[in-house]
Amino acid sequence: MPMMKHYEMLRNVSRTFALSIEQLPLPVRDVVTIAYLMFRVSDCLEDHDAMLPDRKAGLLRLWAEVLQGQVPVEKFLQGLSDIEAKGDPEIELGPEGFSQMFTSLSRQG
């Protein structure tokens, strides 16, 4: 996924923070952009008003395991397959886009 798509997503989810990130030098800008979007996943899950608390907790634990490299991102994506996006760019990415974004961060680190 090209970084321009990541920047566009960043602007959609946090216009104020995006302004600050865009001032960072490369490659720091790219790493911070992807990391911010990935941490927005936690926020998106927490804020999902139709999801039961137990499911939120389970998905958040699974997401933490993904971030720690203990679980493949595909397992997490399976758990999201029935979630309605409700305008959240992180979920609207779909499994392929999300996986690409995760891979982008892994390469940067």
Expressed as residue numbers, the domain containing 8 is 3-108
pTM score, two decimals?
0.72
Q: Please tell me the distance from the alpha carbon of residue 29 to that of residue 10, in angstroms, as a whole number.
A: 11
Question: What is the per-residue pLDDT for 6?
Answer: 82
pLDDT at position 9 is 83
Count how many domains the chain has.
Answer: 1
42-68 per-residue burial string, b: 16 or more CB within 10 A, e: under 16: bebbeebeeeeeeeeeebeebbeebbe
Residue spans of the chain under pLDDT 70 = 1, 84-109
> Residue 106: its pLDDT value, please?
58
